[in-house]
């Protein structure tokens, strides 16, 4: 890691950040540990039943004769997914009726494409059997039912999306939640994602380093959590920061087994930097009037994924305001122990959450 003492600064704001940061780094002793937000509830008695629907295995393993039958089976058993997959994810614009010889021919060409065949084979070397995920997935569903007893237990659909989508939530034909998982977004080092489309920011290294098995559980639940949260309560930096903090807090409660590095999608070095720099980050955000900023482009510099947070040292990761938002929401819930998760999600007063959290950044 580049020494902070060799950085140069081009503005008074960065100089202020540097001064505060060097003070906070005098006695740094941080480590990447599993979260211990509070004692996890006992959910062992909660019954869990869900289904894996392995659509890529059903379709890619079919020979020409069986393919029509498999298409009919998928359309009959899972019509909501079939419609969504064919029309929106892989974007077949014409007929998607398995009775159509033209559609079957086009779909056969799609799955027999050499690149798609290679991606399928790579996906199966990692995910032919998903039983390794079941213990953590079961535990996360039990937590879901503990915090949201009225919520459906989703089924899980695996698919290949031609790099269209990593995970998504949708409503199945029974009217309940279901989650789709694009396995092509979890191949890790088996594929060079940046080479797929070098100009596409979605394949930037700071994003694709999380396209792996370690992040699979988090990515599965992320769209479900986002759907539960709906939209931010307002447009200021504080509103966005608290909204993102709620998202991380809910993810941490559903999946307490996730390491902090996976929850925040930081490297161990980046996470240690944030932990040791809370005072400096907070002072910088205040100095920039971030909390009451309402220009989206300026807010995104500290809430959206990026190689670093603009104006902070090179060692800083992106989304530093999101990291602080999580600390505030966690403190708010710790100090309001009688509050339910539903109470948190209903509270749209970001200023109230900040004030009642009584959060103070750590000074190491």
Same domain? For 276 and 295 the reply is yes
> What pLDDT does residue 21 have?
40
CA gap 237, 241 in Å, rounded: 6
Q: Is residue 350 part of a domain?
A: yes
Q: How many domains does the chain have?
A: 2
Q: Of 229, 264, 294, which closes a domain?
A: 229
Q: Is residue 45 part of a domain?
A: no
> What pLDDT does residue 157 have?
98
Same domain? For 63 and 133 the reply is yes
Output DSSP code: residue 130: -
In what helix (H) or strand (E) does residue 159 lie, and over which residues does it extend? strand 155-159
Same domain? For 155 and 258 the reply is no
- What region does 264 belong to: left with phi over 0, alpha with psi -120 to 50, or beta? alpha
Q: Is residue 44 part of a domain?
A: no
CA gap 150, 93 in Å, rounded: 37
Same domain? For 220 and 331 the reply is no
**What are the pLDDT tens digits along the chain (364 aa)?**
333 222 222 343 444 444 344 334 433 333 333 333 346 899 999 999 999 999 999 999 888 889 999 999 999 999 999 999 999 999 998 899 999 999 999 999 999 999 999 999 999 999 999 999 999 999 999 999 999 999 999 999 999 999 999 999 999 999 999 999 999 999 999 999 989 888 888 899 999 999 999 999 999 999 999 999 988 889 999 999 999 999 999 999 999 999 999 999 999 999 999 999 999 999 999 999 999 999 999 999 999 999 999 999 999 999 999 999 999 999 999 999 999 999 999 999 999 999 999 999 987 6
Q: Of 165, 194, 229, which closes a domain?
A: 229
Same domain? For 23 and 60 the reply is no
Q: Indicate the length of the chain as a whole number.
A: 364
Are the beta carbons of 46 and 153 closer than 8 angstroms?
Answer: no
Q: Is residue 364 part of a domain?
A: no
> What pLDDT does residue 230 have?
82
Q: Which strands form 52-54's sheet, in the order they lie side by side?
A: 52-54, 155-159, 177-182, 167-171
* Residue 352 CB partners (closer than 8 Å, separation 6+): none
Q: Which domain holds residue 308?
A: 4-30+230-357
Q: Of 229, 262, 285, which closes a domain?
A: 229
Q: How many CB atoms lie within 10 A of CB 215?
A: 21
Q: Is residue 86 part of a domain?
A: yes
Same domain? For 269 and 328 the reply is yes
**Among 126, 122, 86, 124, which residue's Cα sits nearest to residue 106?**
86
Using CA atoms, how far residue 153 sits from 166, 224, 291, 356, in Å, is 20, 11, 37, 33
Q: Is residue 41 part of a domain?
A: no
Q: Is residue 15 part of a domain?
A: yes
Same domain? For 296 and 192 the reply is no
Same domain? For 199 and 300 the reply is no
Same domain? For 244 and 189 the reply is no
Q: Please give the backbone phi and psi of residue 52, each rounded to the nearest 5 degrees, phi first.
A: -90, 125
> What pLDDT does residue 93 have?
84
Q: Is residue 42 part of a domain?
A: no
Same domain? For 16 and 99 the reply is no
Same domain? For 107 and 244 the reply is no
Antiparallel, parallel or unpaired: β 155-159 and 52-54? parallel
Q: Extract the tokens encoding 262.
A: 């996976």
Antiparallel, parallel or unpaired: β 177-182 and 155-159? parallel
> What pLDDT does residue 197 have?
87
Same domain? For 17 and 58 the reply is no
């Amino acid at each position: 890691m580049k020494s902070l003492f060799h950085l140069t600064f081009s503005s008074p704001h960065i100089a202020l950040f540097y001064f505060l940061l060097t003070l906070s780094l005098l006695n740094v002793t941080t480590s990447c540990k599993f979260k211990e937000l509070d004692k996890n509830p006992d959910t062992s008695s909660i019954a869990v039943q869900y289904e894996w629907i392995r659509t890529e295995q059903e379709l890619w393993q079919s020979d020409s004769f069986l393919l029509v039958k498999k298409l009919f089976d998928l359309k009959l058993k899972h019509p909501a997914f079939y419609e969504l997959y064919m029309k929106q994810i892989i974007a077949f614009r014409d007929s998607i009726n398995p009775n159509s010889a033209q559609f079957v021919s086009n779909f056969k060409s799609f799955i027999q494409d050499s690149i798609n065949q290679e991606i399928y084979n790579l996906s199966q070397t990692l995910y032919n059997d998903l039983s390794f995920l079941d213990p953590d997935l079961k535990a996360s569903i039990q937590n879901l039912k503990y915090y949201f007893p009225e919520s459906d237990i989703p089924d899980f659909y695996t698919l290949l999306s031609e790099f269209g989508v990593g995970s998504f939530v949708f409503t199945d034909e029974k009217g309940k939640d279901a989650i789709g998982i694009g396995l092509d977004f979890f191949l890790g080092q088996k594929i060079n994602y940046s080479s797929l489309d070098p100009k596409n920011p979605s394949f930037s290294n700071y994003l694709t380093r999380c396209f792996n098995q370690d992040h699979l559980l988090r990515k599965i639940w992320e769209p479900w959590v986002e759907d539960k949260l709906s939209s931010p309560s307002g447009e200021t930096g504080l509103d966005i920061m608290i909204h993102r903090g709620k998202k991380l807090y809910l993810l941490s409660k559903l999946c307490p087994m996730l390491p902090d590095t996976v929850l925040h999608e930081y490297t161990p070095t980046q996470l240690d930097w944030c932990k040791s720099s809370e005072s400096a980050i907070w002072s910088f955000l205040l100095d920039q009037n971030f909390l009451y900023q309402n220009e989206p482009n300026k807010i995104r510099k500290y809430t959206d994924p990026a190689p670093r947070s603009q104006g902070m040292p090179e060692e800083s990761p992106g989304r530093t305001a999101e990291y602080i938002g999580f600390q505030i929401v966690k403190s708010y819930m710790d100090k309001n122990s009688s509050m339910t998760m539903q109470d948190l999600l209903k509270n749209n007063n970001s200023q109230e959450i900040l004030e009642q959290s009584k959060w103070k950044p750590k000074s190491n």
